[in-house]
Amino acid sequence: MTMSNAPSLMTKTAPAFTLEDKIYQIQNGDERLRNKLIDSYQPFIKKVVSKVCNRFIDQSMDEYSIGLFAFNEAINQYQKGQGSRFLTFADMVIRRRIIDFLRKEARTANTVYFDQPETDEDGQQEESYIEQQAAIDYYEEQQQIQERMEQIESYKELLLQYGITFKVLSKQCPKHIDARENAKQIARILVENEKLANYLLEKKQLPIKELLQYVSCSRKTIERNRKYIIAVSLIYLGGFTALKPYIEPETV
């Protein structure tokens, strides 16, 4: 007999490769997997879009294309630890994009909104209300962060045209609140005067001589705070709404 006395080896099962793992792999540059994932989840995308529109959606419709783009956007923006599974997050992003589209097209009747939990064919809730709300909150927060970062970068580039960097600006920012508020007031006077604002934008210089006709402070004060006044003026003129807290009145 050739019976072996060796104990049988237990085969270790490899950890499951989750959908979220695939998302992180795509975010690290696997474009083939991205295309494969988008292709395999077309039924999911079509299902979500159809539910929002309350009608059948096929691949030739604009709504479907928007759903595809939104799914791809969700792949790019999904992050670990945000409080929801990827499909919950993707569902929410697709819904948001479709609703935005329908509003723009003035066809918002019978739209399904996010505060209505979805149910599957068996009447079971697909995702919990709390989980969907967590995904919505996270997405909106990320959108705000992204917008703020983009505006900061644009603002930084604009300041460079005036020879101002953030480092220089931090050093030349008036130390006292009343001095900062005075400089902000000068900036507001400038942006509300079309002639002065155009001078700043075209010449890339502060129209100090002209400003003195509208303000009560001395030329020396304006010159001392010149870069700060320019920086505040450009927040107004550039429409950098995300930087609004920097130009709002301060309290002592």
Structure tokens at 33: 């997997």
Q: Which of 56, 32, 147, 50 is nearest to 91 (CA)?
A: 50
User: Does residue 200 share a domain with residue 112?
Assistant: no
Domain count, the chain: 2
User: Does residue 130 share a domain with residue 42?
Assistant: yes
Domain membership flag for residue 156: no
pLDDT at 16: 60
User: Does residue 240 share a domain with residue 180?
Assistant: yes
Residue 242 pLDDT class (50, 70, 90 cuts): confident
pLDDT at 146: 75
pLDDT at 10: 46
Helix axes 62-77, 31-40, angle to 10 degrees: 130
Q: How far lies 112's CA from each of 55, 129, 133, in Å? A: 11, 14, 15
Residue 67 pLDDT class (50, 70, 90 cuts): very high
User: Does residue 176 share a domain with residue 108?
Assistant: no
Domain membership flag for residue 70: yes
Task: For the chain, give the percent of residues with pLDDT over 70.
Answer: 76
User: Does residue 139 share a domain with residue 41?
Assistant: yes
Which pairs with CB-CB distance under 8 Å and at least 24 residues apart come from 57-64?
Answer: 62/101, 63/98, 63/101
User: Does residue 176 share a domain with residue 94?
Assistant: no
Give the range of the structural domain holding residue 93, as residue numbers without chain letter: 19-117+126-145
Domain membership flag for residue 152: no
Domain membership flag for residue 10: no
Per-residue pLDDT averaged across 176-204, rounded?
Answer: 91
Domain membership flag for residue 2: no
Global pTM reads 0.51
For residue 46, the domain's CATH number is 1.10.1740
| Mean pLDDT, the chain, integer | 79
